[in-house]
Amino acid sequence: MPKRGKKIREARKTIDRMALYDLEDALQKVIDNKFASFDESVDVAVRLGVDPRHADQMVRGTVVLPNGIGKDVKVLVFAKGEKEAEATEAGADFVGNDDLVEKIKGGWLGFDKAVATPDMMGTVGKLGRILGPRGLMPNAKTGTVTFDIKRAVDELKAGKIDFRVERAGIVHATMGKASFGLQKLVENINAFFETIIRLKPSSSKGTYLKTISVSSTMGPGIKIDPAFAKNISK
């Protein structure tokens, strides 16, 4: 078993590994225990009572976090004609069509999110093997294949994230930075869970939110009592 660093060992001493904390207490411990020299991200992991092997139990969605994720998101837009101009006016960092496709084929991936108009997907589809595994492929289900370019760019720049349940039934998502402070992180997590709860599949039986934990990039995981989400649903 690898030896843990002194700082992570000290952080773990402040946490009861068997306890279920309320949301604010857990987040405060995440903030108090951060020790990296950089501004650590705050992540949430949720184990859902679903079986993603069944299509009717797949949980996938998007949410615009009210306080963003603390990162300047570089957005690329595949578009032609008037939509190119719309993308530029909306603040997209990279705009083009065939030229961008060739640039990406050449190995360039200097962007965080990609948007495409529907008429570009025949061309963009050729990049599936490159963009797909990296989560960069435009997708109508996440609102990134659309003619409403301005809205798509605005939402991504504002902190829109997409999430998808993994094979083990777990959803991971970044909720912001430790420097946000308690209130902003609570607001972001509440928005995230409002969406998770709304997306509960009708075929999911029993406990839907099985376990929830939060952590910073370098810090230990802290368990949250899933009952906090009941207040959100009310």
At the top level of CATH, the class of 16-69+160-233 is: alpha beta
Residues 6+ apart with CB under 8 A from 34: 40, 178, 216, 218, 219
Whole-angstrom distance, CA of residue 52 vs CA of residue 71: 30
> Does 190 score more than 80 pLDDT?
yes
Q: Which fold has domain 75-157?
A: Rossmann fold (3.40.50)
* Kind plus residue range of the DSSP H or E element containing 75: strand 75-78
Q: The pTM is what?
A: 0.85
Same fold, 16-69+160-233 and 75-157: no
pLDDT in tens, 56-85: 999 999 999 999 999 899 999 999 999 999
Residue 101 near residue 123 (C-beta atoms within 8 A): yes
Boundaries of every domain in the chain = 16-69+160-233, 75-157
Average pLDDT for residues 12-21, to the nearest whole number? 78
